[in-house]
Structure 1
Amino acid sequence: MTTPPPSRRALVGGALAASAVAAATSAPAYAASGSIRLLSGPDRHLVTRFSYGLNPTLAHQVRKAGGGHAWFERQLRPSTIADVDAAKVDTWWPELRFSPTKLWQRQIQQVQGGWEVMANYQRRALQRRLRTNRPVLEMMSEFWENHLNVPVNGDAQFTYRAAYGDMIRKHALGRFSDLLVHAITHPAMLIYLDQATSTKAHPNENLGRELLECHTVGRGHYTEDHVKASARILTGYTVDMWDTWQALYNPEEHWRGTVKVMGFRDANTSKDGRDLTRRYLRYLAKHPATARRIAWKLAVKFVKDKPSSTLVGHLAKVYLKNDTAIAPVLRALVASREFQRSVGAKVRDPGEDIVATYRLLGVRLGSPATYDAGVNAMLWQAGTLGITPLAWPRPDGQPIDNASWSSPARLMASLDMHYTLSGGWWPRERTHYIQPVDRLPAKQVRFDRLVDDLSRRILHRPASDKLLKACCMATAAKPGEIISDQHPVVLWLMPRLLTTILDSPDFMSR
């Protein structure tokens, strides 16, 4: 007995009604079945905020580590954690390791366009997030790639963009001063913000300005004269664009003369300005305004949209006390009472939403051996939610506040994506979905116990009364109804049941 899947219009109406009655903090609908071991509330909050979806496998890793804080502490030392499944995807797109010259030649010879290379870079990013045992490293790599943004879509910077991302991952849990020096002098950044064509006769101000405005101290702490001096300090760094694509430093193009940016002053008499640049960037990294800006941004990303000035000030002090090291700041952040009280205060952005949906539904993806393979299609799905990973076009990076990702259009797109994946309808190529019958915790189970089991697997918490009510509305099943492999819930209504859970506030927030 079969029936076609309900229309997306019908789903949206049902899901909106279901979401309207779902709530994050209601009491359990009935005694816990115990089929899924749950972490404590504080551990659940910590791991959910610093991962791309808390599933039973990750929960087991947390318990094995000794609890949430022990797990988090080990995450801050990612080299101690094996990550074979995530590393495997690096072999899927060998062009991401090609030299800039080779990548450019392949584009002009119409072998592979830069946009195609970058689409594969985005796919690799999604797959790493989906598969990783080092979610804190991946989250911080994403955070810094957005803070020090070089969009993947660019006809010149694409030649160095994968290497730029690898550099950021290397320094993501180190010192911000080191990361800033490597990022600002990296060929991808030089090309994107026009430093590659800046000369002593005509210093280009783009990178010098964004360095101050977006990457370090922020507006209100510098003048236009400081921007000009910032641009002059950076002269000499260049890339031989359109020919060899070699990144180099040309002392003949370094502007010489006294430079002053806020409290930084130098006679700048040497033709080789690289040491000057390093000292200038380290000065900016250690500036109190930068400390507060980095502290505020980390608090917005991992705590709530309007963190208290007390928390920001505390994190800034930790940052400066530890010579811009990031790990101590993250430790202080998760230890704060403000973090502990921020359960559910952050909305999942499009990238987090799609990765968590795949993870928590247990969708497995094979290599991109065909054009329509799920690995490829996952990127297209992400685009329908508002933005593909690392594609924000401006230097300020992708927004991290709730309002930016809470529009009706984004919500409707997420509902549609949840439903499509819950039904296993697309993608299909090289994509493995758990079959509806295999989601039953027993051959025969009461509907309320099925909802609870699914809630524990997807939301990592018992089903609330309101979630159960929403699931009953979506499927027309009653709480005590017995569900077997021949029941309509299994035969054709499982997508409605799953998407009701995925559309709930408990899933859409983190």
Structure 2
Amino acid sequence: MPSSDSEPGGVDTAPAPPTAPAPDAEPGQTDSGATAEPLADDTVDEPAPAGSDLSTSGTTSSLPLATTAAWHLARRAAHAPTAEIAARIAAMGTHAWIDRQLEPEGIGDSRLEDYVSRYFPWSRLPAAQLENATGGRPFLAEYQVRIALLARARFTERVLLETVVETLSDHIYVPLAGKGAPFSPDWDQTLRRHALGPFNELLHAALRHPAVLRSFDNQHSTKDSPNENLGRELLELMTVGSGHYTEEDVRQSALLLTGHTIDWDTLEYAFVPERHHVGALQIMGFAHPNASAEAGPTVLAEYVDHLAHHEATALRLARRFAVRYISDAPSAAVVEDLAAAYLDGDTSIASLVRATLTHEEFRTSAGRKWKRPLEYVMTIARAARPAEFVPDGRVGANREFDTGAYGWLVGLGQHLPRGWPGVDGYPDTAPYWRSPNRTLAMWNGTVHAVKGDASESGVTDWAQVLEIGLGDNVLRTAERITQHLTGFTWPRAHLEDVAAMLGNGGERAVGPSDVITEHSVTWHIKDALQLVFASPYGFLR
């Protein structure tokens, strides 16, 4: 068993998760024959249907999953789901909670906003202001955006907005450390402004944003020397996808985008008519005479509107949101339903999100998604409910690149915000994130995450956070904290593993009369929590 006091940087052997059911066990049974009982209320999500394949989420169809509709929504809608978020959903009702989250300006988020304003002000500045604000170190702004994103995942009350922003940032992907780095703070703000509005408006803003223009080299694209990067990726990644366009369409798309560039004096978007190709354009089903250089911005707006309303774009976005919120392999039927909701809503992203989270396939999808490292680590960090937060990476501490202990752990899992090295954003399917190396990194990281970040928010007192008292029954405490932290009702066989660790460090099984002792509080609570978080239940989104 690892010591809960080991320091970051060491190599630890993380606690093994509770024994998973044998692959050939009957659905709803553990390998010991114990049956999981759902919670006694009418909001319970049904366990996975017999014979369903949950292998993509890191389990088998035999892992018993009993949870509530509120917890299921919390796990999918928030980076860091908590019992408090689930309780609010249960109190409001799922539809009312979703509607409220889709109007984030009406949700008070003063704690998070205070942290961002006080500690990470550079994460909001346009490029033109960074040189003076950073004392000639504008490159530090990209680190500030990253640390602010970590803080947002941990502290925000606008939890659905954050996951939508992340989903869109993987769809129109601009890495923080890439060529668009000086513009990354303003790009993040642009994503936030448009995240729940019409997709055609977000796409139009993206194609006129210096971060996107520079990332895809369009600032150099002229009628005499067109660069095809943005024209191609607009079709392949941001809209219709492969199979819907030809190489001639790519060429025409690139010609349409000529002249859209960056003013290097103001560090803002600019359109230069003299650089814009003039002449008729034909791109898939889009045609425009493009008769004058001055028509360039109008042609772009019409082209974007055409692409955003294209059926293939609707299906690609629908699939991306279904993969993010429902399962790694959503059915063709659900993708078609979500695409219809998107088009019926005139490319409304909010309509797409609402349709996703209220779809019948969503309701029955418990167990079909696996947490990525940022979600996993921040779930532990948020559950700790820190009273204070003074990050080492704050402006003025001369460590503006320091992501803190939790960010370090997310980095071990190779999932730092907007750190994917390609042009297509992070993958969001379980096989990628469940590789042996990443799983081991997260198991080992659990030791440090449970301990807490002593520098920025203090070592976590889990006995106080979870209200574990001397004399409390060990088995009942194990039942309560597993439900509180994961949202699943664990079968008795798996609870007994946690209870034994909680009561005596796993040296022996506990009985109905065993209680929490000072030794348990001092030495074993963190060990038990490592087991809870590192279990399959803790990894499921």
2: distance between equivalents of 1:437 and 1:171? 42
- 1:75–1:134 CA contact under 8 A, matched in 2: yes
Aligned counterpart for 1:261 among listed residues 283, 301, 319:
283
1:367–1:375: 8 Å Cα contact kept in structure 2?
A: no
Contact (CA 8 Å) 1:22, 1:505: kept in 2 or not?
A: no
Q: Equivalents in 1 of 2:322, 2:203: separation in Å?
A: 20
Structure 2 contact 38–67 (Cα < 8 Å) conserved: no
1:225 to 1:52, Cα distance in 2 relative to 1, 3 A? same
**Change in CA separation of 1:30 and 1:63 when aligned onto 2, cut-off 3 Å:** closer
Alignment of 1:191-230 (within 5 A): 191-230=214-253
Question: Paired residue for 2:105?
Answer: 79
After superposition, residues 172-183 of structure 1 pair within 5 angstroms as 172-183=195-206
Please report how far the alpha carbon of residue 99 of structure 1 lies from its aligned counterpart in structure 2 after TM superposition. 3.9
Q: CA deviation at 1:83?
A: 1.1
- 2:331 counterpart of 1:316: no
Is 1:89 aligned to residue 90 of structure 2?
A: no
Would the aligned equivalents of 1:446 and 1:479 in 2 still touch at CA under 8 Å? no
Corresponding position of 1:165: 188
The alignment of Structure 1 onto Structure 2 pairs a total of residues equal to 495
Q: Does 1:132 align with 2:156?
A: yes
Distance 1:401 1:182 in 2: 29
Q: Please state if 1:368 is matched with 2:391.
A: yes
TM-score by length of 1: 0.89
Distance change in 2, residues 1:484/1:165 (3 Å): same
Structure 1: distance between partners of 2:38 and 2:224? 75
Counterpart Cα distance in 2 of 1:113 and 1:440 = 45
The aligned counterpart of 2:255 is 232
Residue equivalent to 2:137: 112
1:349 aligns with one of 364, 368, 372: 372
Q: Does the alignment pair 1:15 with 2:23?
A: no
CA displacement, residues 357-385 of structure 1 (integer Å, 9 cap, x when unaligned): 21123345512255789963322221001
Q: Secondary structure at the match of 2:518?
A: coil
Q: Give 1:389's match in structure 2, choosing from 393, 396, 417.
A: 417
Aligned to 1:326, which of 349, 356, 379? 349
Superposition RMSD on alpha carbons, in Å?
A: 3.0
Which residue is 1:251 aligned to?
273
In the aligned structure 2, how far is the partner of 1:414 from the partner of 1:143?
22
Amino acid of the structure 1 residue aligned with 2:151: Q
Distance 1:300 1:278 in 2: 29
Query: TM-score by structure 2 length?
Result: 0.84
The aligned residue for residue 323 of structure 2 is 300
Provide Cα deviations, 1:307-337, integer angstroms capped at 9, x if missing partner.
Answer: 1111111111221122111222222222322
Unaligned runs of 5+ in 2: 46-65
Tell me the secondary structure at the aligned position of residue 470 of structure 2: coil
* CA shift in 2, pair 1:351/1:507, >3 Å: same
Instruction: Quote the Cα distance in structure 2 between the aligned partners of 1:375 and 1:479.
Output: 43
The alignment partner of 1:351 has SS state of helix
Verify: 1:482 aligned to 2:517, yes or no.
Answer: no
Q: Deviations over 1:34-85 (max 9, x none)?
A: 9xxx997222212221112332322332244x22221112111112211111
Query: 2:366 and 2:356 mapped to 1: Cα distance?
Result: 14
**Letter of the aligned partner of 2:16 in structure 1?**
A
Q: What one-letter code is carried by the residue in structure 2 that aligns with 1:415?
A: W
Report the counterpart of residue 432 of structure 1 in structure 2: 458
Alpha-carbon deviations, 1:105-154, whole Å to 9, x = none?
Answer: 788x7x4351x321211110111111111111111011101100000002
Q: 2:4 & 2:328 partners in 1: Cα distance?
A: 42
- Whether the aligned pair in 2 keeps the contact of 1:440 and 1:450 (CA below 8 Å) is no
Change (3 A) 1:98 1:339: closer
Distance 2:409 2:162 in 1: 20
- Equivalent position of 1:151 in the other structure: 175
The sequence identity of aligned pairs, in percent, is 30
Greater shift in the superposed pair: 178-187 or 206-215: 178-187
In structure 2, what is the Cα distance between the partners aligned to 1:359 and 1:194? 39
- Report if the CA contact (8 A) 2:498-2:531 is conserved: yes
